[in-house]
Amino acid sequence: MNQPELLIRTYQSDDLPRLKDLTIEGFESVSIDRNIEDAFGEINGHDWRWRKVRHIDNDVEANSPGVFVAVLDGQVVGFITTRVDREAGTGLIPNLAVDSQQRQKGIGKKLLAQALDYFRGLELTHARIETLDQNEIGQRLYPWMGFQEVARQVHYCQKL
């Protein structure tokens, strides 16, 4: 039996609801917003999901040509978002998510490769990505893809 072919394509506006669903699923245990909610509860009547999916809206608004989706059997099963700073020569990858039923199949690697090729096509010289200490997949995948750890950051929050 033939394996369905994975297609990586540029974002289309009707992909947005699915990207948001993948964001909620993919960042359930690896989100600063979720960590804040775990410590403080909902903030201003909104849960972590509401705050996190707004990041996707912002990514799409900032650079929709640099948002790529993975499609398998006609279904969006993953995505990656990018930001570009041409003056600094850097590209940033703010968000990457793959459907939990499709993980460990190389989809995240292919999405990362697409983003890196996109940056190279723009003649950028460096790519950046961040992950949380609790994101075991990112901790393995990013170095495997050639990223080098350069710093660690601690996030704090307090109730006002």
Encode 104-124 in three state secondary structure.
CCCHHHHHHHHHHHHHHHCCC
- pLDDT at 98 exceeding the cut of 70: yes
Q: End-to-end CA distance of the chain, in Å?
A: 59
> Rounded to an integer, what is the distance from CA 101 to the centroid of its chain?
17
Measure the CA–CA gap between 99 and 25, rounded to whole angstroms. 7
Whether residue 1 has pLDDT greater than 80:
no
Q: Which residues contact 18 (CB under 8 A, 6 or more apart)?
A: 76
- pTM (2 decimals)? 0.93
Whole-number Å distance between alpha carbons of 23 and 18: 8
Question: How far is Cα of residue 50 from the mean position of the Cα atoms in its chain?
Answer: 16
Q: In what order do the strands lie in the sheet with 68-72?
A: 6-10, 68-72, 75-85, 90-98, 126-129
How do residues 13-64 score in pLDDT, each as one tens digit?
999 999 999 999 999 989 999 999 999 999 999 999 999 999 999 999 999 9
107-131 residue pLDDT tens: 999 999 999 999 999 999 999 999 9
- 3-class DSSP state of 30: coil
Which residue type is seen at 68? F
